[in-house]
Structure 1
Amino acid sequence: MSQSRNSWRNTTHDWASGVDVEHLARIRADPAVFAPDGLRHLILEVVAYAADEAEGNGGGRCTITLHPDGSVSVADDGRGTDTRFDDQGRAVKKPVMASKDLRFFDHPERQSLPDGHPRRGMSVVAALSEWLVHTNRRREGAWTQRYEHGVPVTGLVPIADGGVTGTVVHFRPDGRLPGPAQAELVGELVRCPGAWGVLSVDLDDLRAP
Structure 2
Amino acid sequence: MSDTSARRGDTTHDWAGSVDHDHLARIRRKPGEFSPGGVGHLVLEVLAYAAEEAESTGGGHAVVTVHPDGSVSVADNGRGTATRADGSGGFVKKPVMSTKDLRFFGFPDAQTLPDGHPRHGMSVVAALSDWLVHTNRRHNGSWTQRYERGVPVTDLTPIADDGTTGTTVRFRPGEDVGPVRLPEVGGWQYLSVEIVG
Give the TM-score normalised by the residue count of structure 1.
0.88
Q: What is the rounded CA distance, in whole Å, between the counterparts of 2:160 and 2:132 in structure 1?
A: 20
Question: Are the counterparts in 2 of residues 147 and 153 from structure 1 also a CA contact under 8 Å?
Answer: yes
- Paired with 2:18 and 2:131, the residues of 1 have a C-alpha distance of 18
Aligned pair 1:197/2:192, yes or no?
Answer: no
Q: Could you tell which deviates more after superposition, 173-182 or 33-42?
A: 173-182
Flag as ranges the 4+ runs of structure 1 deviating above 6 A.
Answer: none
Q: What is residue 22 of structure 1 aligned with on the other side?
A: 22
- Report the identity percentage: 64
- Report the residue type matching 1:98 in the other structure: S
Kept after mapping to 2: 8 A contact 1:54/1:199: yes
Quote the residue 2:123 is aligned against. Answer: 123
The offset of 1:108, in angstroms, is 1.5
Q: CA deviation at 1:92?
A: 0.1
- Structure 1 residue runs without a partner (length 5+): 1-9
CA RMSD, Structure 1 to Structure 2 (Å): 0.9
Q: What is the aligned length? A: 188
Q: 1:92-112, CA deviations, whole angstroms, 9 ceiling, x for partnerless residues? A: 000000000010002121101
Structure 1 residue aligned with 2:102: 102
Distance 1:122 1:39 in 2: 13
* 3-state SS in 1 of match to 2:142: strand
2: distance between equivalents of 1:105 and 1:67? 29
Match in the other structure for 1:44? 44
- Structure 2: where are the runs of 5+ without partners? 1-9
**Partner of 1:165 in structure 2?**
165
SS at 2:40 equivalent: helix
TM-score of the superposition, structure 2-length normalised? 0.93
Question: C-alpha distance in 2, partners of 1:164/1:179?
Answer: 32
Q: Name the counterpart of 2:141.
A: 141
Aligned-partner SS, 2:109: coil
Q: What is the rounded CA distance, in whole Å, between the counterparts of 2:25 and 2:68 in structure 1?
A: 28
Query: CA deviation digits over 1:136-161, x for unaligned, max 9?
Result: 00010001000000000001000112
Q: Offset at 1:18? A: 1.1
What is the alpha-carbon distance in structure 1 between the residues aligned to residue 159 and residue 75 of structure 2?
16
**Distance of 1:61 and 1:177 partners within structure 2:** 26
CA contact (8 A) 1:91 1:156 kept: no
CA distance in 2, matches of 1:161, 1:55: 25
Report the Cα offset of residue 29 of structure 1. 0.5
